Chain A
Amino acid sequence: AAGVIQSPRHLIKEKRETATLKCYPIPRHDTVYWYQQGPGQDPQFLISFYEKMQSDKGSIPDRFSAQQFSDYHSELNMSSLELGDSALYFCASSGWSGNQETQYFGPGTRLLVL
């Protein structure tokens, strides 16, 4: 079965640079979630989109923005990167009829800021 696809899988950036993370949800899923997992930490919710509209917002820095496109893929844009942004960024999707509450996670993008 198709899973959530994230790209790139690994990313190395310098401080103050910009990064864009992409997420392709499971086909027919209309909701996308972004989570950040710092080293040795639990995943923290950043933001979510339902039918291309922002549906919820968590502890996402103002330097970050995200959107969901007409094909339901989503991008997380991160500017003025800081060392503390180094983390594993997960995308999850949901929306399958009868199983709507379940979020299926992608493999994550590991971001290292130097």
Chain B
Amino acid sequence: AQSVTQLGSHVSVSEGALVLLRCNYSSSVPPYLFWYVQYPNQGLQLLLKYTTGATLVKGINGFEAEFKKSETSFHLTKPSAHMSDAAEYFCAVQGGSEKLVFGKGTKLTVNP
């Protein structure tokens, strides 16, 4: 079975500051890992994904994430936050079956 834990339901940063959103996963098989972003009243947009190969993956809008098997983590980072990054971010794992198992989400607030 798969599960995802996102540490921190709310994260607040200043504009221009580093964004770090934490995600730890559990999977009985080698996982595929995803980060999705959800803006208010909108759908889920894929930010980035890890399947195989390079453990540092780059996504859209300047985000990147590193797959660390030893730590079962897939934290999302961005060097400099923009106001437009304010949204809810979901980490998801896929393994064994095709369905996605999501974390509870982290709401990112960016302060001017």
Interface size class of A (residues with CB under 8 A): 20 to 34
Q: How far is the CB of B46 from chain A (nearest CB, A)?
A: 7
> Is A20's CB within 8 Å of the partner chain B?
no
Closest to A105 in B: B44
Q: Which of A11-19, A75-83, A96-104 contacts B (4 or more CB under 8 A)?
A: A96-104
Q: Are B44 and A90 in contact (CB under 8 A)?
A: yes
**Are B102 and A101 closer than 8 Å at their CB atoms?**
no
CB of B20 within 8 Å of the partner chain: no
The residue from A31, A35, A44, A101 contacting B94, defined by CB atoms under 8 A apart: A101
Query: How many interface residues does B have (CB within 8 Å)?
Result: 21
Asked if B99 and A33 sit within 8 Å, CB to CB, the answer is: yes
Q: Which A residues form the contact surface with B (CB < 8 A)?
A: 31, 33, 35, 41-45, 48, 55-56, 58, 90, 92, 94, 101-108
The distance in angstroms between the C-alpha atoms of A68 and B46, with both chains bound, is: 24
From B97, B98, B105, give the contact of A94 (CB < 8 A).
B98
CB distance from A87 to the nearest CB of B (A): 13
Q: Is A56 a contact of B97 with CB atoms below 8 Å?
A: yes
